[in-house]
Homo-oligomer: A and B are copies of this chain.
Amino acid sequence: MHFVPFSYAIDLAGTFAFGLSGAMVAVRRQLDLFGILVLAAATGVAGGMIRDILLGDLPPEALRNTWSLAVTCLAGVCAFFFGPLIERLNRPVMLLDAVGLGVFAVAGCQKALAIGLNAPGAVLLGMITAVGGGVLRDVMAAEIPRVLREDVYALAALAGAALYVAGLRMGAQEPIVAACAAPLSFAIRVASVRYGWKLPRAPWS
């Protein structure tokens, strides 16, 4: 608990962003304080838990280490008190979600490679990690998951994860690659919403 390595700090930043996005959804649904904390924790922690389960690193970090839980509770309390301030941002849930998306895509890849998964498996795991928290948030709030509703969502996570793995393969330094890959996912996601990017639909539909 005394020493927080770099990869774990990344995890915490993504956890906070996803936690805040979950808390804001809970606030909009007029859930009570504990409901906000539960949805913040579920959203913030789910992606990492799914990653740790799939990699067989059990019990998952979120249970062994009190920091993740503290961070999501902090996110919940922030949303509870400063909701209107956060709401004044343009599309705050989308922005926070995009931060979490980029961070977790990289964090998932990182750990997958460390455990010895091959490149396609690591990219896939990065995407699952990035998308997992948001899917749980939307399913629990009885909405159709964003990953299916929106055109460029999982694709943004995939791009970041692919850049991360490709960068490492080409011999670049890990922190530099991470510092490019996570913002790439974020930028693609936000730009796709801002400019209304569409992907092709089935030619005959």
Contact = CB atoms under 8 A, between A and B. Distances in A.
A2 interface: no
Interface string A38-67: 110000000001000111101110111110
Tell me the dominant secondary structure on chain A's binding face.
Answer: helix
A81 interface: yes
A142 B147 CA distance: 12
A34 interface: yes
A54 B64 contact: no
A27 B79 CA distance: 37
Interface stretch (A9-17, A89-97, A167-175, A197-205): A197-205
Nearest to A156: B34
Given A117-B59, A141-B148, A205-B83, A198 B154 contact: no
A140 B139 CA distance: 8
Given A56-B56, A66-B118, A112-B63, A32 B154 contact: no
How many copies of this chain does one complex carry? Answer: 3
A145 interface: yes
Contacts of A66: 118, 120-121
Residue in A36, A65, A144, A204 whose Cβ sees the most chain B Cβ within 10 Å: A204
Interface residues of A, number: 60
A101 interface: no
Nearest to A154: B38
Given A120-B69, A124-B69, A30 B63 contact: no
A5 interface: no
Interface in A104-130: 112, 115, 117-118, 120-121, 124-125
A117 to B, nearest CB: 6
A75 to B, nearest CB: 14
Interface of A: 26-27, 29-36, 38-39, 49, 53-56, 58-60, 62-66, 69, 79-81, 83-84, 112, 115, 117-118, 120-121, 124-125, 135, 139-142, 144-145, 147-148, 151-152, 154-155, 198-205
